[in-house]
Amino acid sequence: MPGRRAGDISAFLADDTPSIPTVALRHKPDPHLKEVTVAVQLTPPTQLPADYESYDADDERGYGWVAFAGTLLLILGTLNFIEGVAAISNAHFFTANAHYIAGNLNTWGWIVLCVGVLEWIVGCGVFVKNQFSRWTGVFVLGANSIVQLMMMPAYPFWSLSIFALDILAIYGLITYGGRIGQS
């Protein structure tokens, strides 16, 4: 480029794209080496999407808990169905000669089986984002937690584990379940 000096930026800006400034540098470290020219382009500023101001991170917050609660409803429904069938058929993995507050193992087996079917139906409703299913889920999970405590003489550790999962699912539905009807 004849007539330009090293570090002359103004001549360069007139040639190329005016929106992206280009800088040319000449460096001659040793007289025995050739002349080196380096061109540097500045990165244009990043722009935010036009609808960025309307985006609210709180809209997405908590949906994981709702999905977790829906998944727990489906899993607990399946487990309760299996536990109910096992209790009705007098399976041998329940504690023998357990004394219940009300009823017997067969009675609680039928109750757990019915609660399991309800949990499965409500779990599907939560994934469809039905607000009625949210509150029905809270009610069914609350009932299941009481039923599991009543069935504790038959299978103590299992009943306490299911009780803890019921409480987690209730937390997810009550705390963040209001968002399932809004999206």
- Rounded-to-integer distance, Cα 171 and Cα 54, Å: 29
Question: What residue type is 9 in one-letter code?
Answer: I
Measured at the CA of 62, the angle between CA 57 and CA 63, to 5 degrees, comes to: 95
pTM for this structure?
Answer: 0.64
- Give the other-Cβ count within 10 Å of 16's Cβ: 12
Q: What is the pLDDT along the chain (183 residues), one digit of tens a residue?
A: 555 555 555 554 555 445 555 555 555 566 666 666 667 777 776 776 666 555 555 556 778 888 899 999 999 999 999 999 988 887 787 777 788 888 888 888 899 999 999 999 999 999 888 889 989 999 999 999 999 998 888 888 989 999 999 999 999 999 887 766 565
Sign of the CA dihedral 48, 54, 59, 61?
A: positive
Instruction: Sketch the domain layout of the chain as residue ranges.
Output: 9-41, 54-179
Kindly state the helix (H) or strand (E) to which residue 38 belongs, with its residue range: strand 36-41
Angle, CA 180 vertex, CA 177 and CA 183 arms, to 5°: 145
Place of tokens 């999962």: 165
Rounded CA gap, 51 and 63, in Å? 22
